[in-house]
Amino acid sequence: MTSTPKKVTIPMNGVDYRGKIVLAPMVRSGECPSRLLALKYGADLVWGPETIDKALIGTTRRENSTTNTVDFTRISSNGAKNPALNPDQRESVIYRLHPGREGRKLIYQIGTSNPETAVQAAKLVAPDVAGIDVNAGCPKPFSTSGGMGAALLKTPDKLCSILEALVREVGGPNEIGISVKIRILDTAEETAALVRRLVATGITGLTVHCRTTPMRPRERAIRDQLRMVADLCREAGVACLMNGDVTSREEALDLIAEYGCDGAMIATAAETNPSVFRLEAEGGKAPWEEVVEEYVKTSIEVENRWGNTKFLLGQMIPGKHSAYNSMTRTKSYAELVKTLKYDGALLKMARDVDKALDIGEYEKPKLTKAERKAANKTASKTSGGSHDRSMQEEVRKTAAGIKRKAATAELDKPPDIAREAGPASVPESASALAV
């Protein structure tokens, strides 16, 4: 007789990561339209981009009837000392998901270094997702400088306390799974010791990125520790996903069989062309022209931030093609649709979205620094009373109202809050490959 492999119980509202080929969490490249396109082309699950706990805390959950999305928003400060005092201030979308099209296939990845704030943020989004994943692998300074991401690999006690708190206070009550994404350590012994601790916290899944913290995407993944990690996860009944240099569904299936993992993530290849999730027998990788048109249409449907859409198009359109240079000069969805010569129905939709986002011909004049200062002064004079003081205090406590250093501010704002950011203007601190 052969014994049945141990498997942790998958919560009722959660999802089993076994047998899944999934979209990896990528800053900028994991926003709503990218996830929807990955699912359209066959991804089994999708991870959202790492979203810092403090960025989500203080947001308002709104059901958007225009886009059929659920939006977590807060009033954008745009340099104002107290944005809550300006009723005309635009709300920033911190996190957007599409229940009808993502369903129970979305995993929310949280950036955190504190069990309390992790739980506070995760509770807000838990009813709308299939799982919460803790980022313990991002090597970029905007994450590690706050003790998050790969910095957690050096503080295993803290990482375990975060996972245990999420399992106890978020996973259990919402009946979803909690998972973690790590990188390999310098030696197999160190990695094994860490994995043994992590799988004992109550998590349902663990993803191992087969690179060490100092390594960058251009360096080949190291897989000599992968089977060991997969074996340790299997002993604990925890699903193990692999990440690093996986470029297609076929390759993912071959690697799963070779190393004994339960599933795999695709990152960079999916950023360039999300149809890599499709089996060759079902059509395989689609031409970039088809993928770009689908992406533009989807971005318009969900009113995606213009800066994010333009950034992703910079990854999808070949740099040497004439369409690339034409795209980089556009400043709105309407201009983009005209430039790429899409049909009139999409152009009408594009104009409606431009108006909703205040871009292109609908862009409003921006206040100068002096005008913002005067507006703040006027708002402060006209406000008063305990209610306003209480509101100011609440804003001060949230990520939007805290006076922060530049590095910290980068964590708290949406990944592409600058609407005009083109492919060439993406800062190093917001790398799309911060996974």
Q: Measured over all CA atoms, what is the biggest interatomic distance in the chain, rounded to whole angstroms?
A: 80
Cα–Cα separations (whole angstroms), residue 120 to 83, 117, 295: 23, 5, 33
* Nearest one of 306, 274, 289 to 342, comparing CA atoms: 289
Per the annotation, the verdict on 233 as an active-site residue is no
Which residues does 242 contact at the CB level (< 8 Å), separation at least 6? 207, 208, 210, 223, 226, 230, 255, 256, 259, 261, 263, 264, 265
With residues binned 3-state (H G I as helix, E B as strand, rest as coil), the percentages for the chain, rounded to 5, are 50, 15, 40
Q: Which amino acid is at 164?
A: E
Angle at 41 between CA 133 and CA 432, to 5 degrees: 50
Alpha carbon 31 to chain centroid, angstroms:
6
Residue 189 has phi, psi (to 5 degrees) of: -65, -45
Catalytic residue among 32, 138, 210, 233: 138
Scanning 67-184, the segments in alpha helix (DSSP H) are: 99-102, 115-125, 141-144, 156-166, 172-174
Cα–Cα separations (whole angstroms), residue 68 to 99, 132, 303: 8, 22, 10
- Cβ contact 414:52 at 8 Å: no
- Cβ contact 206:182 at 8 Å: yes
CA-based radius of gyration for the chain: 22
- Give the residues across from 45 on adjacent strands: 22
Q: How many CA atoms lie within 13 A of 194 on its CB side?
A: 27
3-state secondary structure 91-105: EEEEEEECHHHHHHH
Read off the tokens for 421.
Answer: 């950011």
- Cβ contact 150:213 at 8 Å: yes
Measured between alpha carbons, how far is 72 from 411 in angstroms, rounded to an integer? 16
| Tokens 């152009």 sit on residue | 347
Per DSSP, the three-state class of 144 is helix
Q: Which residues are part of the catalytic machinery? A: 138
